[in-house]
């Protein structure tokens, strides 16, 4: 089959890394799994052998038809759909979610799942390394890492080199684990306002936070963090402080 670059069709072929993804996923014979972008089914095959059931979402009907034939098992179903159009309320109920995600829509898929804030166990995703670094909490914050932290912890598990794929992508990849938490439950209902605050704060990530906040009318001395800091130096609790102070002004 001719692979489509526009759908991020770089298939993971190296069995060492395929096995490593499975062993880090904590799936067993009691788990129901959702896979996003199964492609020709290398990971799908291993998930099926190690889980109770698997529902896979594949946008390319050539592969969804191929997989229907390849795995005609009762505990497998493949849905020929763009995952970004799926109503997650209808599909997520306690599963583990996995996938070697198409690079061009990885962040949209991850944010869709995280922001839906539904009952999934955890996600194991293979994504571009550069994007993984933006999601993970490190010495520097990003808009996307603060947004994610409201709902979950994200950790980097291991890297995968381009040679492990066919065709080989031009970039490095990493496997991440996303585990939902309720640590910041009291902020769930304020999430849309938090996103507006983050958009203002990260408009110029290298400028001081005092400059980003200059259009708000209030006594800045009340903040517990240093106003000379750059947005990327602040933590999620600092952004909660900003949200509480300025919520009425956005």
The residue ranges that bind ligand SAM (CB under 6 A) are 7-12, 36-39, 42-43, 57-60, 63, 82-84, 100, 102, 105
65-80 as b/e: b if 16+ CB within 10 A: ebbeebbeeeebebeb
Kindly state the smallest distance separating residue 20's Cβ from ligand SAM, in Å.
Answer: 13
Give the residue closest to ligand SAM by C-beta. 37
Kindly state the smallest distance separating residue 41's Cβ from ligand SAM, in Å.
Answer: 7
* Residue 33 or 243 having the CB closest to ligand SAM: 33
Of 121, 112, 109, nearest in space to 52 by CA:
121
* Residue 1 or 227 having the CB closest to ligand SAM: 1
Residues sharing a CB contact under 8 Å with residue 149, sequence separation 6 or more, in sequence order: 137, 184, 236
Kindly state the smallest distance separating residue 57's Cβ from ligand SAM, in Å.
Answer: 5
Tell me the backbone φ, ψ of residue 15, rounded to 5 degrees.
-65, -25
* Residue 98 or 243 having the CB closest to ligand SAM: 98
Take residue 135 and report the two structure tokens written for it.
């999601």
Kindly state the smallest distance separating residue 157's Cβ from ligand SAM, in Å.
Answer: 15
């Amino acid at each position: 089959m001719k692979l489509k670059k526009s759908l991020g069709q770089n298939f993971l072929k190296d069995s060492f890394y395929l096995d490593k993804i499975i062993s880090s996923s904590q799936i067993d014979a009691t788990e129901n799994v959702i896979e996003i972008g199964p492609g020709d089914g290398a990971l799908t095959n291993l998930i099926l052998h190690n889980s109770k059931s698997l529902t896979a979402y594949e946008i390319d009907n050539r592969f969804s038809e191929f997989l229907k034939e390849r795995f005609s098992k009762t505990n497998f179903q493949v849905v020929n759909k763009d995952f970004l159009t799926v109503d997650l309320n209808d599909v997520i109920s306690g599963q583990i979610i996995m996938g070697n995600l198409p690079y061009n829509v990885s962040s949209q898929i991850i944010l869709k799942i995280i922001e839906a804030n539904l009952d999934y166990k955890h996600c194991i995703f293979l994504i571009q390394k550069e994007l993984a670094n933006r999601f993970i909490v490190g010495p520097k914050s990003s808009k996307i890492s603060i947004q994610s932290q409201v709902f979950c912890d994200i950790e980097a598990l291991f890297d995968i080199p381009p040679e492990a794929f066919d065709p080989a992508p031009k970039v490095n990849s990493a496997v991440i684990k996303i585990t939902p938490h309720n640590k910041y439950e009291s902020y769930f209902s304020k999430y849309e306002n938090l996103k507006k605050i983050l958009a203002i704060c990260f408009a110029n990530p290298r400028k001081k936070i005092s400059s980003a906040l200059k259009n708000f009318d209030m006594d800045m001395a009340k903040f517990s963090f240093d106003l000379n800091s750059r947005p990327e130096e602040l933590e999620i609790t600092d952004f909660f402080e900003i949200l509480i102070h300025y919520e009425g002004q956005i």
